Amino acid sequence: MAPAQNEPTRPHSPSYDLTGKRVVVVGGKTGIGLGIAQAAHAAGASVTVASRRSAPAADHPELTPFEQITLDISDEEAVRAAFETIGSLDHLLVVAGPTDGSWGAFMDKDMRGVRSYADSKFLGSWACARYAHPRLAADGSITFLTGGIAARSKFGMTAVTSTFAAVEALARSLALELGPIRVNAIRPGFIDTDLWNFLSKTDAADVREKVRANFPARRIGRPADVGHAAVFLMTNPYVTGTVLEVSGGEQLVDWQF
Ligand SMILES: NC(=O)c1ccc[n+]([C@@H]2O[C@H](COP(=O)([O-])OP(=O)(O)OC[C@H]3O[C@@H](n4cnc5c(N)ncnc54)[C@H](OP(=O)(O)O)[C@@H]3O)[C@@H](O)[C@H]2O)c1
């Protein structure tokens, strides 16, 4: 087919290179977000990490390569001010979300748990996209972070399942609304971060063994696995409105932890 008017005639060969790009990872000081920040930095980007904690690089050498911003995503005014300070950017990744188990159950005596969870994870993702959008490059991208529980509910986790599903719907809807900026979500499986520290050593070892025995990839995920996927979504110019699962094949097998 002949190229349409204004369409580049040169063959386009996407690469994983982020040299000269500015990447902002909200929730990028620990865990999966840090894995994404490190992968983006290794691909050549200058990276800003944002979250509530202030983590002096002297005490956190892993954060030395990054510019740091302090930000609570459940505070819209703080999000607006943070993106005003950040200025122009190429890629936004919103990884942050409560990981302290405070989302509550469906029949709790009130709805404080789910309100606060959705306020942070869903509306926080919305707010970051909302205030970053006017400053995003036209060939840039937004990537949200959900989890396997979006696709497979777990008893007592209705707030998380519903919120993650809403974030994935947000990605699809914004892909349509903000194009040509690309918008996607990554849905990780069981990734080795401090989120799992609530498990006893014995339970953690048990989960690892179950994952090794059952998951097609035969191991627990690492933040770097998600980082690699995030660099793909930032650099591929034609993927938008998708949910990319990075789970070692978790959804293909029957397993419970
Ligand atoms: N690890 C897994 O197996 C897994 C699986 C599925 C989904 N997930 C999801 O992946 C995301 C990252 O989790 P993780 O495993 O990497 O655990 P993590 O290290 O505890 O990451 C959570 C991050 O979110 C930030 N955060 C939390 N609330 C925030 C707020 N209100 N404003 C700004 N930043 C906030 C935290 O930083 P501050 O405390 O400094 O604010 C922290 O950096 C979470 O949404 C989690 O539910 C994880």
The atom number, within ligand 1, closest to the CA of 191 reads 3
CA 33 / ligand 1 centre spacing (Å): 7
pLDDT over 80 at 4, yes or no: no
Superfamily of domain 22-250: NAD(P)-binding Rossmann-like Domain (3.40.50.720)
Three-state DSSP class for 178?
Answer: helix
Distance, CA 3 to ligand 1 centroid (Å)? Answer: 44
Q: Please report how many Cα atoms fall inside a 13 Å half-sphere around the Cα of residue 74, on the Cβ side.
A: 10
Q: What is the pLDDT of residues 176-220, one digit of tens each?
A: 999 999 999 999 999 999 999 999 999 999 999 999 999 999 999
User: What is the CA 92 to chain-centroid distance, rounded?
Assistant: 9
- The string of pLDDT tens digits covering residues 106-122 is 999 999 999 999 999 99
Q: Say how many C-beta atoms besides its own lie within 10 A of residue 20's C-beta.
A: 9
Domain boundaries, the chain: 22-250
Q: Is residue 222 packed enough to be buried (19+ CB in 10 Å), middle (13-18) or exposed (0-12)?
A: middle
Total-model pTM: 0.96
pLDDT of 39 > 70? The answer is yes
Please work out whether the CB of residue 35 comes within 6 Å of at least one atom of ligand 1.
no
Is the distance from the beta carbon of residue 220 to the nearest atom of ligand 1 less than 6 Å?
A: no
**pLDDT score of 7:** 57
pLDDT in tens, 143-170: 999 999 999 999 999 999 999 999 999 9
Helices 31-42 and 223-235 pack at an angle, to 10 degrees, of 50
Cβ–ligand 1 distance for 188 under 6 Å, the answer yes
